[in-house]
Structure 1
Protein backbone atom coordinates (compact mmCIF):
# COMPACT_ATOMS: atom_id res chain seq x y z
CA UNK A 1 0.00 0.00 0.00
CA UNK A 2 1.29 3.49 -0.82
CA UNK A 3 2.39 5.69 2.05
CA UNK A 4 -0.10 8.30 3.33
CA UNK A 5 0.64 12.01 3.57
CA UNK A 6 -0.59 13.84 6.63
CA UNK A 7 -3.35 16.05 5.17
CA UNK A 8 -5.95 16.32 7.91
CA UNK A 9 -9.00 14.72 6.22
CA UNK A 10 -10.38 11.19 5.78
CA UNK A 11 -8.93 9.08 3.02
CA UNK A 12 -11.22 6.51 1.45
CA UNK A 13 -9.65 3.54 -0.30
CA UNK A 14 -11.55 1.08 -2.46
CA UNK A 15 -10.25 -2.44 -3.04
CA UNK A 16 -11.40 -4.52 -5.98
CA UNK A 17 -11.51 -8.31 -6.23
CA UNK A 18 -10.93 -9.37 -9.83
CA UNK A 19 -11.28 -12.72 -11.55
CA UNK A 20 -9.73 -13.61 -14.86
CA UNK A 21 -11.74 -15.15 -17.69
CA UNK A 22 -9.60 -15.52 -20.74
CA UNK A 23 -8.38 -12.00 -21.54
CA UNK A 24 -11.29 -10.23 -19.87
CA UNK A 25 -11.33 -8.97 -16.28
CA UNK A 26 -14.44 -8.23 -14.27
CA UNK A 27 -14.87 -7.00 -10.66
CA UNK A 28 -16.79 -9.40 -8.43
CA UNK A 29 -16.63 -7.59 -5.08
CA UNK A 30 -16.11 -4.05 -3.81
CA UNK A 31 -14.76 -3.21 -0.39
CA UNK A 32 -14.41 0.29 1.07
CA UNK A 33 -12.08 1.09 3.93
CA UNK A 34 -11.86 4.58 5.43
CA UNK A 35 -8.50 5.70 6.80
CA UNK A 36 -8.60 8.71 9.08
CA UNK A 37 -5.62 10.89 8.21
CA UNK A 38 -4.94 13.29 11.07
CA UNK A 39 -2.81 13.74 14.17
CA UNK A 40 -3.01 10.04 14.89
CA UNK A 41 -1.06 9.27 11.71
CA UNK A 42 2.64 9.99 11.92
CA UNK A 43 4.29 12.03 9.17
CA UNK A 44 6.12 10.05 6.52
CA UNK A 45 9.83 10.79 6.78
CA UNK A 46 10.40 9.91 3.11
CA UNK A 47 8.02 12.64 1.96
CA UNK A 48 9.50 15.11 4.44
CA UNK A 49 13.00 14.45 3.11
CA UNK A 50 11.67 14.97 -0.42
CA UNK A 51 10.00 18.36 0.08
CA UNK A 52 12.19 19.79 2.87
CA UNK A 53 14.84 21.35 0.57
CA UNK A 54 12.11 23.14 -1.41
CA UNK A 55 10.43 24.30 1.80
CA UNK A 56 13.69 25.68 3.14
CA UNK A 57 14.44 27.46 -0.14
CA UNK A 58 10.96 29.01 -0.21
CA UNK A 59 11.18 30.17 3.40
CA UNK A 60 14.58 31.73 2.77
CA UNK A 61 13.18 33.72 -0.16
CA UNK A 62 10.08 34.81 1.77
CA UNK A 63 12.30 36.02 4.65
CA UNK A 64 14.57 38.04 2.35
CA UNK A 65 14.61 41.72 3.37
CA UNK A 66 14.19 44.15 0.46
CA UNK A 67 13.40 47.43 2.20
CA UNK A 68 12.59 49.28 5.38
CA UNK A 69 9.45 51.03 6.65
CA UNK A 70 9.79 54.15 8.78
CA UNK A 71 6.06 54.17 9.64
CA UNK A 72 3.28 51.66 10.24
CA UNK A 73 1.21 51.33 7.07
CA UNK A 74 -2.34 51.04 8.38
CA UNK A 75 -5.70 50.90 6.63
CA UNK A 76 -8.33 52.23 9.02
CA UNK A 77 -11.76 50.96 7.99
CA UNK A 78 -13.53 54.33 7.98
CA UNK A 79 -10.73 56.64 6.86
CA UNK A 80 -11.06 58.01 3.30
CA UNK A 81 -7.27 58.12 2.96
CA UNK A 82 -4.87 55.62 4.56
CA UNK A 83 -1.13 55.15 4.72
CA UNK A 84 -1.36 51.62 3.33
CA UNK A 85 -3.62 52.76 0.51
CA UNK A 86 -1.28 55.62 -0.42
CA UNK A 87 1.73 53.29 -0.46
CA UNK A 88 -0.10 50.78 -2.64
CA UNK A 89 -1.47 53.28 -5.15
CA UNK A 90 1.83 55.19 -5.35
CA UNK A 91 3.64 51.92 -6.10
CA UNK A 92 1.22 51.03 -8.91
CA UNK A 93 1.59 54.46 -10.50
CA UNK A 94 5.37 54.67 -10.16
CA UNK A 95 6.02 51.20 -11.56
CA UNK A 96 3.38 51.48 -14.28
CA UNK A 97 4.90 54.73 -15.50
CA UNK A 98 8.14 52.89 -16.26
CA UNK A 99 6.29 51.34 -19.20
CA UNK A 100 3.72 54.10 -19.78
CA UNK A 101 5.13 57.46 -18.64
CA UNK A 102 1.90 59.25 -19.59
CA UNK A 103 -0.22 57.22 -17.15
CA UNK A 104 -2.02 59.81 -15.03
CA UNK A 105 -3.46 58.11 -11.97
CA UNK A 106 -3.93 54.77 -10.24
CA UNK A 107 -6.74 53.10 -8.34
CA UNK A 108 -7.15 50.11 -6.03
CA UNK A 109 -9.55 49.01 -3.31
CA UNK A 110 -9.11 48.63 0.42
CA UNK A 111 -10.51 45.11 0.39
CA UNK A 112 -7.69 43.90 -1.84
CA UNK A 113 -5.04 44.81 0.76
CA UNK A 114 -5.01 41.82 3.08
CA UNK A 115 -2.67 42.90 5.87
CA UNK A 116 -1.16 46.03 7.38
CA UNK A 117 2.61 46.52 7.34
CA UNK A 118 4.51 47.31 10.50
CA UNK A 119 7.48 49.65 10.83
CA UNK A 120 10.78 47.89 10.27
CA UNK A 121 12.13 45.54 7.65
CA UNK A 122 10.01 44.66 4.63
CA UNK A 123 10.39 41.11 3.37
CA UNK A 124 9.21 39.39 0.21
CA UNK A 125 6.82 37.43 2.42
CA UNK A 126 5.20 40.61 3.74
CA UNK A 127 4.30 41.70 0.21
CA UNK A 128 2.98 38.26 -0.68
CA UNK A 129 0.71 38.49 2.38
CA UNK A 130 -0.37 42.01 1.43
CA UNK A 131 -1.33 40.96 -2.10
CA UNK A 132 -1.64 37.14 -2.19
CA UNK A 133 -3.71 37.07 -5.38
CA UNK A 134 -2.61 36.50 -8.97
CA UNK A 135 -3.83 39.95 -10.04
CA UNK A 136 -1.95 41.63 -12.88
CA UNK A 137 -1.34 45.28 -13.67
CA UNK A 138 -3.60 46.83 -16.33
CA UNK A 139 -3.58 50.19 -18.12
CA UNK A 140 -7.04 51.51 -18.99
CA UNK A 141 -7.84 54.47 -21.19
CA UNK A 142 -11.06 55.93 -19.82
CA UNK A 143 -13.35 58.64 -21.05
CA UNK A 144 -13.85 61.65 -18.80
CA UNK A 145 -17.38 60.42 -18.09
CA UNK A 146 -16.06 57.04 -16.95
CA UNK A 147 -13.57 58.79 -14.67
CA UNK A 148 -16.48 60.67 -13.12
CA UNK A 149 -18.28 57.35 -12.54
CA UNK A 150 -15.13 55.99 -10.90
CA UNK A 151 -14.94 59.06 -8.66
CA UNK A 152 -18.58 58.46 -7.71
CA UNK A 153 -17.75 54.87 -6.75
CA UNK A 154 -14.78 56.01 -4.65
CA UNK A 155 -16.91 58.61 -2.85
CA UNK A 156 -19.87 56.28 -2.26
CA UNK A 157 -17.58 53.67 -0.68
CA UNK A 158 -15.90 56.16 1.65
CA UNK A 159 -12.60 56.47 -0.21
CA UNK A 160 -10.25 54.00 -1.87
CA UNK A 161 -6.49 53.82 -2.58
CA UNK A 162 -5.64 56.36 -5.31
CA UNK A 163 -2.62 58.23 -6.61
CA UNK A 164 -2.39 61.07 -9.12
CA UNK A 165 -5.98 62.10 -8.44
CA UNK A 166 -7.36 64.23 -5.61
CA UNK A 167 -10.94 64.64 -4.45
CA UNK A 168 -13.25 65.57 -1.62
CA UNK A 169 -16.24 63.59 -0.42
CA UNK A 170 -19.39 65.36 0.70
CA UNK A 171 -22.63 63.48 1.40
CA UNK A 172 -21.12 60.43 -0.34
CA UNK A 173 -20.61 62.46 -3.51
CA UNK A 174 -17.30 63.38 -5.18
CA UNK A 175 -16.45 67.08 -5.02
CA UNK A 176 -13.58 69.03 -6.58
CA UNK A 177 -12.10 66.03 -8.39
CA UNK A 178 -8.74 66.87 -9.98
CA UNK A 179 -6.18 64.95 -12.02
CA UNK A 180 -2.76 66.57 -12.36
CA UNK A 181 -4.22 69.66 -10.67
CA UNK A 182 -7.03 70.09 -13.21
CA UNK A 183 -10.77 69.30 -13.08
CA UNK A 184 -11.97 66.30 -15.08
CA UNK A 185 -12.49 67.14 -18.74
CA UNK A 186 -15.34 65.00 -20.12
CA UNK A 187 -14.15 65.58 -23.69
CA UNK A 188 -10.83 63.76 -23.27
CA UNK A 189 -9.50 60.36 -22.23
CA UNK A 190 -7.35 59.51 -19.20
CA UNK A 191 -4.87 56.71 -18.57
CA UNK A 192 -5.43 54.76 -15.38
CA UNK A 193 -3.26 52.07 -13.79
CA UNK A 194 -5.15 49.39 -11.89
CA UNK A 195 -5.32 45.58 -11.94
CA UNK A 196 -7.33 43.03 -13.87
CA UNK A 197 -9.62 42.02 -11.00
CA UNK A 198 -11.01 45.55 -10.77
CA UNK A 199 -10.92 46.10 -14.54
CA UNK A 200 -13.12 43.02 -14.85
CA UNK A 201 -15.70 44.45 -12.45
CA UNK A 202 -14.40 43.07 -9.15
CA UNK A 203 -15.42 44.71 -5.86
CA UNK A 204 -18.45 46.13 -7.73
CA UNK A 205 -16.23 48.89 -9.09
CA UNK A 206 -17.78 51.41 -11.47
CA UNK A 207 -16.39 53.42 -14.35
CA UNK A 208 -13.89 50.80 -15.55
CA UNK A 209 -16.24 48.94 -17.87
CA UNK A 210 -16.07 49.61 -21.62
CA UNK A 211 -12.72 51.45 -21.63
CA UNK A 212 -11.51 53.20 -24.75
CA UNK A 213 -8.50 50.89 -24.63
CA UNK A 214 -7.08 48.23 -22.34
CA UNK A 215 -3.49 47.03 -22.11
CA UNK A 216 -2.58 44.08 -19.90
CA UNK A 217 0.96 44.68 -18.68
CA UNK A 218 1.60 41.00 -17.88
CA UNK A 219 3.04 41.79 -14.46
CA UNK A 220 1.71 40.61 -11.12
CA UNK A 221 0.69 43.32 -8.68
CA UNK A 222 2.86 41.83 -5.93
CA UNK A 223 5.82 41.85 -8.34
CA UNK A 224 5.07 45.53 -8.86
CA UNK A 225 5.20 46.12 -5.10
CA UNK A 226 8.44 44.16 -4.76
CA UNK A 227 10.05 46.15 -7.59
CA UNK A 228 8.87 49.44 -6.09
CA UNK A 229 10.30 48.73 -2.63
CA UNK A 230 13.52 47.34 -4.11
CA UNK A 231 13.95 50.47 -6.23
CA UNK A 232 13.55 52.71 -3.18
CA UNK A 233 16.20 50.67 -1.39
CA UNK A 234 18.63 50.90 -4.31
CA UNK A 235 18.19 54.67 -4.17
CA UNK A 236 19.04 54.67 -0.45
CA UNK A 237 15.46 55.46 0.60
CA UNK A 238 13.15 54.01 3.22
CA UNK A 239 9.39 53.78 2.74
CA UNK A 240 8.04 56.81 4.59
CA UNK A 241 4.52 57.18 3.21
CA UNK A 242 2.50 60.12 4.55
CA UNK A 243 -1.10 61.29 4.40
CA UNK A 244 -1.29 64.21 1.97
CA UNK A 245 -5.00 65.01 1.72
CA UNK A 246 -5.56 63.29 -1.62
CA UNK A 247 -9.00 62.29 -0.34
CA UNK A 248 -10.81 64.28 2.33
CA UNK A 249 -14.29 63.97 3.69
CA UNK A 250 -16.39 66.93 4.84
Structure 2
Protein backbone atom coordinates (compact mmCIF):
# COMPACT_ATOMS: atom_id res chain seq x y z
CA UNK A 1 0.00 0.00 0.00
CA UNK A 2 1.25 3.46 -0.84
CA UNK A 3 0.36 6.63 0.95
CA UNK A 4 0.35 10.15 -0.36
CA UNK A 5 0.96 13.07 1.93
CA UNK A 6 -1.02 16.25 1.36
CA UNK A 7 -0.92 19.56 3.15
CA UNK A 8 -4.31 21.15 3.73
CA UNK A 9 -4.01 24.88 3.98
CA UNK A 10 -6.56 26.83 6.00
CA UNK A 11 -6.89 30.27 4.54
CA UNK A 12 -8.13 33.32 6.37
CA UNK A 13 -9.40 36.51 4.85
CA UNK A 14 -7.69 39.59 6.14
CA UNK A 15 -8.47 43.18 5.36
CA UNK A 16 -5.26 45.17 5.32
CA UNK A 17 -5.92 48.88 5.11
CA UNK A 18 -7.07 50.42 1.91
CA UNK A 19 -5.33 47.80 -0.24
CA UNK A 20 -8.38 45.59 -0.08
CA UNK A 21 -8.77 41.95 1.02
CA UNK A 22 -5.81 39.56 0.84
CA UNK A 23 -5.66 35.84 1.47
CA UNK A 24 -3.18 34.67 4.08
CA UNK A 25 -2.24 31.13 5.11
CA UNK A 26 -3.19 30.69 8.75
CA UNK A 27 -1.99 27.12 9.34
CA UNK A 28 -1.42 23.76 7.67
CA UNK A 29 -2.52 20.30 8.69
CA UNK A 30 -0.88 17.08 7.46
CA UNK A 31 -2.86 13.96 6.72
CA UNK A 32 -2.00 10.62 5.10
CA UNK A 33 -4.31 9.29 2.41
CA UNK A 34 -3.95 5.54 1.78
CA UNK A 35 -3.71 4.46 -1.86
CA UNK A 36 -4.33 0.79 -2.63
CA UNK A 37 -5.52 -1.53 -5.41
CA UNK A 38 -8.90 -1.74 -3.70
CA UNK A 39 -9.69 1.88 -4.45
CA UNK A 40 -12.13 2.43 -7.35
CA UNK A 41 -10.71 3.74 -10.62
CA UNK A 42 -11.27 7.35 -11.51
CA UNK A 43 -12.79 6.99 -14.96
CA UNK A 44 -12.18 10.65 -15.85
CA UNK A 45 -8.44 10.42 -15.15
CA UNK A 46 -8.23 7.02 -16.83
CA UNK A 47 -9.86 8.27 -20.02
CA UNK A 48 -7.57 11.32 -19.99
CA UNK A 49 -4.24 9.47 -19.90
CA UNK A 50 -5.17 6.24 -21.69
CA UNK A 51 -4.44 7.51 -25.25
CA UNK A 52 -1.00 8.69 -24.14
CA UNK A 53 -0.31 5.40 -22.36
CA UNK A 54 -1.26 3.36 -25.42
CA UNK A 55 1.00 5.42 -27.65
CA UNK A 56 3.90 5.22 -25.21
CA UNK A 57 3.45 1.47 -24.72
CA UNK A 58 3.50 0.90 -28.47
CA UNK A 59 6.91 2.61 -28.64
CA UNK A 60 8.49 1.26 -25.47
CA UNK A 61 7.58 -2.34 -26.26
CA UNK A 62 9.48 -2.35 -29.57
CA UNK A 63 12.00 -5.20 -29.74
CA UNK A 64 15.33 -3.52 -30.52
CA UNK A 65 17.61 -6.55 -30.43
CA UNK A 66 17.94 -10.12 -29.22
CA UNK A 67 20.57 -11.10 -26.67
CA UNK A 68 22.12 -14.55 -26.54
CA UNK A 69 22.62 -14.27 -22.75
CA UNK A 70 22.07 -12.09 -19.71
CA UNK A 71 24.36 -9.05 -19.83
CA UNK A 72 25.64 -7.93 -16.42
CA UNK A 73 28.05 -5.48 -14.84
CA UNK A 74 31.33 -6.74 -13.49
CA UNK A 75 34.72 -5.71 -12.16
CA UNK A 76 37.28 -5.09 -13.52
CA UNK A 77 35.28 -6.02 -16.62
CA UNK A 78 31.68 -7.00 -17.22
CA UNK A 79 29.73 -7.89 -20.33
CA UNK A 80 27.45 -4.90 -19.67
CA UNK A 81 30.48 -2.64 -19.18
CA UNK A 82 31.95 -3.71 -22.52
CA UNK A 83 28.64 -3.59 -24.37
CA UNK A 84 27.87 -0.07 -23.19
CA UNK A 85 31.35 1.34 -23.85
CA UNK A 86 31.59 -0.36 -27.26
CA UNK A 87 28.16 1.01 -28.18
CA UNK A 88 29.32 4.51 -27.22
CA UNK A 89 32.50 4.07 -29.27
CA UNK A 90 30.83 2.61 -32.36
CA UNK A 91 27.91 5.03 -32.52
CA UNK A 92 30.10 8.09 -31.97
CA UNK A 93 32.49 6.98 -34.73
CA UNK A 94 29.47 6.50 -37.02
CA UNK A 95 28.59 10.15 -36.30
CA UNK A 96 32.08 11.26 -37.28
CA UNK A 97 33.04 12.30 -33.74
CA UNK A 98 36.82 12.34 -33.24
CA UNK A 99 38.21 10.81 -30.02
CA UNK A 100 40.58 8.12 -28.79
CA UNK A 101 38.81 6.40 -25.89
CA UNK A 102 35.16 6.04 -24.89
CA UNK A 103 34.46 5.92 -21.16
CA UNK A 104 31.60 6.04 -18.67
CA UNK A 105 31.13 5.21 -15.00
CA UNK A 106 29.71 1.80 -14.10
CA UNK A 107 27.47 3.41 -11.47
CA UNK A 108 25.42 4.97 -14.27
CA UNK A 109 24.39 1.55 -15.63
CA UNK A 110 21.28 0.82 -13.60
CA UNK A 111 20.12 -2.64 -14.67
CA UNK A 112 21.33 -5.81 -16.35
CA UNK A 113 19.94 -6.72 -19.77
CA UNK A 114 18.08 -10.04 -20.03
CA UNK A 115 18.65 -12.95 -22.35
CA UNK A 116 16.25 -12.86 -25.30
CA UNK A 117 14.31 -9.85 -26.54
CA UNK A 118 15.64 -6.43 -25.58
CA UNK A 119 12.74 -3.99 -25.48
CA UNK A 120 13.12 -0.24 -25.83
CA UNK A 121 11.96 0.38 -22.26
CA UNK A 122 14.87 -1.73 -21.01
CA UNK A 123 17.34 0.76 -22.49
CA UNK A 124 15.53 3.59 -20.69
CA UNK A 125 15.83 1.59 -17.47
CA UNK A 126 19.50 0.90 -18.17
CA UNK A 127 20.21 4.57 -18.89
CA UNK A 128 17.45 6.64 -17.26
CA UNK A 129 19.42 9.89 -17.40
CA UNK A 130 19.48 12.57 -20.09
CA UNK A 131 23.28 12.72 -20.21
CA UNK A 132 24.93 13.76 -23.45
CA UNK A 133 28.41 13.12 -24.86
CA UNK A 134 31.32 15.40 -24.03
CA UNK A 135 34.80 15.35 -25.61
CA UNK A 136 37.59 16.00 -23.12
CA UNK A 137 41.23 16.41 -24.19
CA UNK A 138 44.03 15.54 -21.78
CA UNK A 139 47.76 16.06 -21.84
CA UNK A 140 49.60 12.73 -21.69
CA UNK A 141 50.48 13.03 -18.01
CA UNK A 142 46.85 13.68 -17.10
CA UNK A 143 45.72 10.85 -19.37
CA UNK A 144 47.83 8.59 -17.17
CA UNK A 145 46.00 10.01 -14.13
CA UNK A 146 42.71 9.31 -15.91
CA UNK A 147 43.63 5.63 -16.27
CA UNK A 148 44.82 5.59 -12.65
CA UNK A 149 41.41 6.95 -11.62
CA UNK A 150 39.73 3.98 -13.33
CA UNK A 151 42.27 1.57 -11.81
CA UNK A 152 41.67 2.90 -8.31
CA UNK A 153 37.91 2.28 -8.69
CA UNK A 154 38.58 -1.31 -9.78
CA UNK A 155 37.51 -0.86 -13.40
CA UNK A 156 34.84 1.00 -15.39
CA UNK A 157 33.31 0.69 -18.87
CA UNK A 158 35.92 1.68 -21.45
CA UNK A 159 36.44 1.10 -25.16
CA UNK A 160 39.46 1.84 -27.35
CA UNK A 161 42.00 1.11 -24.60
CA UNK A 162 43.45 -1.81 -22.67
CA UNK A 163 45.48 -1.82 -19.46
CA UNK A 164 46.41 -3.75 -16.34
CA UNK A 165 45.68 -2.69 -12.75
CA UNK A 166 48.69 -3.10 -10.46
CA UNK A 167 48.55 -1.66 -6.93
CA UNK A 168 45.58 0.49 -7.97
CA UNK A 169 47.59 2.05 -10.82
CA UNK A 170 47.20 1.56 -14.58
CA UNK A 171 50.15 -0.07 -16.36
CA UNK A 172 50.79 -1.61 -19.78
CA UNK A 173 48.34 0.82 -21.39
CA UNK A 174 47.52 0.64 -25.09
CA UNK A 175 45.17 2.97 -26.93
CA UNK A 176 43.62 1.68 -30.13
CA UNK A 177 46.31 -0.96 -30.35
CA UNK A 178 49.26 1.41 -29.85
CA UNK A 179 51.37 1.86 -26.70
CA UNK A 180 50.34 4.83 -24.57
CA UNK A 181 52.61 7.83 -25.21
CA UNK A 182 52.81 10.25 -22.27
CA UNK A 183 54.10 13.01 -24.60
CA UNK A 184 50.89 13.00 -26.67
CA UNK A 185 47.46 14.54 -26.07
CA UNK A 186 44.44 12.23 -26.04
CA UNK A 187 40.68 12.76 -26.28
CA UNK A 188 38.26 10.90 -24.01
CA UNK A 189 34.62 10.68 -25.04
CA UNK A 190 32.46 10.55 -21.92
CA UNK A 191 29.22 11.92 -20.47
CA UNK A 192 28.62 15.51 -19.44
CA UNK A 193 27.99 14.13 -15.92
CA UNK A 194 31.53 12.76 -15.68
CA UNK A 195 33.04 15.78 -17.43
CA UNK A 196 31.42 17.94 -14.73
CA UNK A 197 33.23 15.93 -12.05
CA UNK A 198 30.46 13.46 -11.19
CA UNK A 199 31.20 10.22 -9.35
CA UNK A 200 34.45 11.61 -8.00
CA UNK A 201 35.78 12.36 -11.46
CA UNK A 202 37.82 15.43 -10.50
CA UNK A 203 40.41 14.32 -13.06
CA UNK A 204 38.16 15.78 -15.77
CA UNK A 205 38.79 19.28 -14.43
CA UNK A 206 42.36 18.89 -15.74
CA UNK A 207 41.24 18.90 -19.36
CA UNK A 208 42.94 21.26 -21.78
CA UNK A 209 39.92 21.33 -24.08
CA UNK A 210 36.26 20.43 -23.70
CA UNK A 211 33.40 20.22 -26.17
CA UNK A 212 29.82 19.31 -25.24
CA UNK A 213 27.93 17.45 -27.96
CA UNK A 214 24.24 17.29 -28.84
CA UNK A 215 24.12 13.50 -28.74
CA UNK A 216 22.76 11.56 -25.78
CA UNK A 217 24.37 8.39 -24.48
CA UNK A 218 21.00 6.64 -24.54
CA UNK A 219 20.54 7.54 -28.21
CA UNK A 220 23.98 6.09 -28.94
CA UNK A 221 22.92 2.78 -27.37
CA UNK A 222 19.66 2.80 -29.33
CA UNK A 223 21.55 3.53 -32.57
CA UNK A 224 23.99 0.71 -31.86
CA UNK A 225 21.19 -1.80 -31.27
CA UNK A 226 19.38 -0.65 -34.42
CA UNK A 227 22.57 -1.23 -36.41
CA UNK A 228 23.02 -4.74 -34.97
CA UNK A 229 19.38 -5.59 -35.63
CA UNK A 230 19.65 -4.36 -39.23
CA UNK A 231 22.74 -6.55 -39.71
CA UNK A 232 20.89 -9.53 -38.23
CA UNK A 233 23.35 -9.86 -35.34
CA UNK A 234 22.51 -11.06 -31.85
CA UNK A 235 23.81 -9.17 -28.85
CA UNK A 236 26.67 -11.20 -27.40
CA UNK A 237 29.29 -9.05 -25.60
CA UNK A 238 32.28 -10.90 -24.17
CA UNK A 239 35.03 -10.37 -21.63
CA UNK A 240 38.12 -9.70 -23.74
CA UNK A 241 40.73 -8.76 -21.15
CA UNK A 242 40.69 -5.04 -21.87
CA UNK A 243 41.14 -4.48 -18.11
CA UNK A 244 43.19 -6.99 -16.13
CA UNK A 245 44.36 -7.14 -12.53
CA UNK A 246 47.96 -8.15 -11.81
Q: Fold conserved (TM > 0.5)? A: yes
Q: Which runs of 5 or more residues in structure 2 are unaligned?
A: none
> Residue in 2 aligned with 1:64?
62
- Worse-superposed segment, 96-105 or 155-164: 96-105
Task: Supply the RMSD in Å over aligned alpha carbons.
Answer: 2.6
Does the residue aligned with 2:225 lie in a helix, a strand or coil? helix
Q: Which runs of 5 or more residues in structure 1 are unaligned?
A: 1-5
> Residue in 2 aligned with 1:245?
241
What are the within-5 Å matches in structure 2 for residues 4-15 of structure 1? 8-15=4-11
The answer (yes or no) to whether the contact 1:66–1:124 under 8 Å persists in 2 is: yes
> Residue in 2 aligned with 1:128?
124
Match of 1:86 among 82, 89, 98: 82
- Worse-superposed segment, 112-121 or 25-34: 25-34
The answer (yes or no) to whether the contact 2:68–2:235 under 8 Å persists in 1 is: yes
Match of 2:172 among 176, 196, 215: 176
Does the residue aligned with 1:177 lie in a helix, a strand or coil? strand
What are the within-5 Å matches in structure 2 for residues 1-250 of structure 1? 8-17=4-13, 24-26=20-22, 30=26, 36-39=32-35, 42-76=40-74, 79-100=75-96, 102-250=98-246
Q: CA deviation at 1:208?
A: 2.0
The answer (yes or no) to whether the contact 2:5–2:30 under 8 Å persists in 1 is: no
TM-score norm. by structure 2 comes to 0.88
Does the residue aligned with 1:243 lie in a helix, a strand or coil? coil
Q: CA deviation at 1:67?
A: 0.8
- Worse-superposed segment, 12-21 or 147-156: 12-21
Does the residue aligned with 2:144 lie in a helix, a strand or coil? helix
TM-score norm. by structure 1 comes to 0.87
Does the residue aligned with 1:209 lie in a helix, a strand or coil? helix
The answer (yes or no) to whether the contact 1:150–1:206 under 8 Å persists in 2 is: no
- Aligned length, in residue pairs: 243
Q: CA deviation at 1:118?
A: 1.2
Does the residue aligned with 2:137 lie in a helix, a strand or coil? strand
The answer (yes or no) to whether the contact 2:9–2:25 under 8 Å persists in 1 is: no
Q: CA deviation at 1:131?
A: 0.7
The answer (yes or no) to whether the contact 2:111–2:126 under 8 Å persists in 1 is: yes
